[in-house]
Structure 1
Amino acid sequence: MERLLGTGEFARRSRLSVKALRLYERQGLLRPARVNGVNGYRGYREDQLTGARLVALLRRLDMPLTEVARIAAAPEPDRAGLLAAYWAGVEERIAVQRSLAAHLRVVLSSGEGLLEMYRVEQREVPERVILTEQRHLLQPELEDWILTSWERMRKAAEPYGGASAPPYVIYHGEVNEDSNGPAEVCYPIDAASAPPEVASRVEPAHTEAYVRLRKAQVVYPQILSAFDAVARWAEENGRTVVAAPREVYFGDWASSGAEDEVCDVAFPVA
């Protein structure tokens, strides 16, 4: 008969604890080859060590058991890709948490170090026609509304050559869990007049003070630090804010990573 490894020996050679082996057995992740119905003795085959060692290494990444099970059960050619996708998600989460921690440090220190977090620049924005939609809504509803509004505007703008500049969102009032704005989505087009089925207006030429953000910094609430930074810079440098602040989205959000630049927070100033 094939020699089976006892729980203690298998645990030692696989670099898993006996307690972990019991847990993984209950989870169906790593079952013994044989369980004695009389004394409960568990035996493992020698060839189970490779899978057990993989489980041990994946757990050292703090990987959830459901994800460990998915990778361990996948065909060998697919495992590296699954691990890469999982780790990309971990790095994105850490990047978002890092930017949140930076925001909280500023909040807890009454704004100390705020201007050191961002580089404020200025640019000239020409007069342009924009398709527009405005709504009162709370922060949890904001992202879905922005995306669906821009998609409607994109279709309406196609006969006019599409967008002439990156779309943006103007905040005419605070938008958070308690305050509902309003917010206004804007879609610039290169036309003297806009499609009649979509609301439009002309936004005058102006100077903007702005900061450029990575995708991880755009997440709410840490993005609020960027608004505070531009407002403080304007105050300390003799600029007057002459219109509502906005977020200008120039990057491909879906394909961008956490460290890619995707958005400007901008204030019209004079």
Structure 2
Amino acid sequence: MTENAVVDVPDRDLLTIGAFAARARLSAKALRLYDRLGLLSPAYVDEATGYRYYRADQVELARLVAMLRQLDMPLARIAEVVAAGDGPAAAELLGTYWADVEARVAGQRTLVGYLRGRLSGRGSEMYGRFVVEMVDVPEQVVITEMRHVPADELPAWIPASLGRLEKAAGECGGIADAPFVVYHAEASMESDGPVEACVPVSDEPTAREWAAAEGRGRQMRVRVEPARRLAYTRITKAQVAYPQILAAYEAVEAWMKREGWEYAGHCREIYFADWETAVAEDAVCDVAFPVKRA
């Protein structure tokens, strides 16, 4: 016996999965998947046979789910659209999702252009746009917040974390120097660091007292950042965006190799300007590597 067979069901108007699939222009396999994922459940399942039956008014919902799947919408977001029903709320959820898709595609398009430049041998031309300099930074007392953060969450996490730390710095003698972010491991789509936001403060004893009393609850701590020699290049607000910032990092690394310097610590971004008021052409950040002589 198949699921298209005639059996007794509570409502004679219910459609077998085969009939419903034909009307919805979907396969029975797709309907079973939607049921398993919780996106479209049958109106009735026969306990003895396990056969699925659907109402005719579920056809439009089945077609909606299928079309949303064609947009590569994640299952959780499809469930949100379905739960919102027909109307402005569902349309707004779809619009938000598609804006995210377009932003991601725009970023991927920029990355493709960057990679084409590298693969076509124009790396030196791209790196030539960046001026690399050296600076000696003295020992600093910093309050920090460390998280595992994938690359796509960094644009939101960095300003939020530095904002929290800058606010806390007021209880630790004030901000002593430019805030910075240290990448203890790669932050990409496949790797999430960890990444450490740091704000230098003026009063170490007060900072340590504050960390013992309140910092732990805020997942912040105090440490001493040793004196370092940095090789760095200064970039604009527009160049901070991924993947443009990759060229800045690689330009510094190419300069280090050419000039005979080795890595002496984790790479970092030093934010010395007001991000909110800066425009795209304003210099806002130094991309830096701690270095030592090879």
TM-score range, shorter chain: 0.5 to 0.7
Q: Establish whether residue 255 from structure 1 lines up as the match of residue 267 from structure 2.
A: no
Q: Establish whether residue 236 from structure 1 lines up as the match of residue 248 from structure 2.
A: no
Q: Which runs of 4+ in 1 moved over 4 A?
A: 99-102
Q: How many pairs were matched up?
A: 175
- Equivalent position amino acid for 1:136 in 2: H
DSSP 3-state at the match of 2:285 = strand
DSSP 3-state at the match of 1:248 = strand
Q: Note the alpha carbon deviations across 1:58-93, whole angstroms, 9 max, x for none.
A: xxxxxxxxxxxxxxxxxxxxxxxxxxxxxxxxxxxx
Q: Establish whether residue 127 from structure 1 lines up as the match of residue 139 from structure 2.
A: yes
- Which residue pairs with 1:187 in the alignment? 199
Q: Is the 8 A contact 2:151 2:187 kept in 1?
A: yes
Change (3 A) 1:117 1:109: farther
DSSP 3-state at the match of 1:153 = helix
Runs of 5+ unmatched residues, structure 1: 1-95
Q: Establish whether residue 140 from structure 1 lines up as the match of residue 152 from structure 2.
A: yes
Q: Is the 8 A contact 2:172 2:204 kept in 1?
A: no
Deviation at 1:113, TM superposition (A): 1.8
Deviation at 1:207, TM superposition (A): 0.5
Question: Where do 1:7-18 residues align within 5 Å?
Answer: none
Q: Is the 8 A contact 2:269 2:287 kept in 1?
A: yes
Deviation at 1:162, TM superposition (A): 2.0
Q: Is the 8 A contact 1:106 1:112 kept in 2?
A: no
Identify the match of residue 206 of structure 1 among 228, 236, 248. 228
DSSP 3-state at the match of 2:244 = coil
- State which drifts further: 239-248 or 158-167: 158-167
Q: Establish whether residue 178 from structure 1 lines up as the match of residue 200 from structure 2.
A: no
Deviation at 1:209, TM superposition (A): 0.3
Deviation at 1:133, TM superposition (A): 1.2
Instruction: Give the Cα separation in 2 of the matches to 1:102 and 1:123.
Output: 32
Instruction: Give the Cα separation in 1 of the matches to 2:283 and 2:271.
Output: 10
Question: Where do 1:34-113 residues align within 5 Å?
Answer: 103-104=114-115, 106-110=117-121, 111-113=123-125
- Equivalent position amino acid for 1:121 in 2: E
Q: Establish whether residue 165 from structure 1 lines up as the match of residue 177 from structure 2.
A: yes
- Equivalent position amino acid for 2:280 in 1: A
DSSP 3-state at the match of 1:240 = strand
Deviation at 1:254, TM superposition (A): 1.0
Change (3 A) 1:163 1:103: farther
How well do the aligned residues superpose, as a CA RMSD in angstroms?
Answer: 2.2
Deviation at 1:247, TM superposition (A): 0.5
Deviation at 1:115, TM superposition (A): 3.1
Q: Is the 8 A contact 2:145 2:165 kept in 1?
A: no
Instruction: Give the Cα separation in 1 of the matches to 2:117 and 2:129.
Output: 9
Please give the TM-score of this superposition, normalised by the length of structure 1.
Answer: 0.60
Q: Note the alpha carbon deviations across 1:135-179, whole angstroms, 9 max, x for none.
A: 112111112222222222122111333211111111111111111
Q: Is the 8 A contact 1:129 1:192 kept in 2?
A: yes
Runs of 5+ unmatched residues, structure 2: 1-106
- Equivalent position amino acid for 2:166 in 1: R
DSSP 3-state at the match of 2:269 = strand
Q: Is the 8 A contact 2:182 2:268 kept in 1?
A: yes
Deviation at 1:264, TM superposition (A): 0.5
Identify the match of residue 223 of structure 1 among 239, 245, 249. 245
- Equivalent position amino acid for 2:196 in 1: E
Q: Note the alpha carbon deviations across 1:177-229, whole angstroms, 9 max, x for none.
A: 11111111111111223222230110100100000001111101110111111
Q: Is the 8 A contact 1:215 1:260 kept in 2?
A: yes
Q: Note the alpha carbon deviations across 1:4-33, whole angstroms, 9 max, x for none.
A: xxxxxxxxxxxxxxxxxxxxxxxxxxxxxx
Instruction: Give the Cα separation in 2 of the matches to 1:267 and 1:157.
Output: 25
Q: Note the alpha carbon deviations across 1:20-54, whole angstroms, 9 max, x for none.
A: xxxxxxxxxxxxxxxxxxxxxxxxxxxxxxxxxxx
Please give the TM-score of this superposition, normalised by the length of structure 2.
Answer: 0.55
Q: Percent identity?
A: 45
Change (3 A) 1:178 1:115: same
Instruction: Give the Cα separation in 2 of the matches to 1:155 and 1:259.
Output: 27
Q: Is the 8 A contact 1:212 1:261 kept in 2?
A: yes
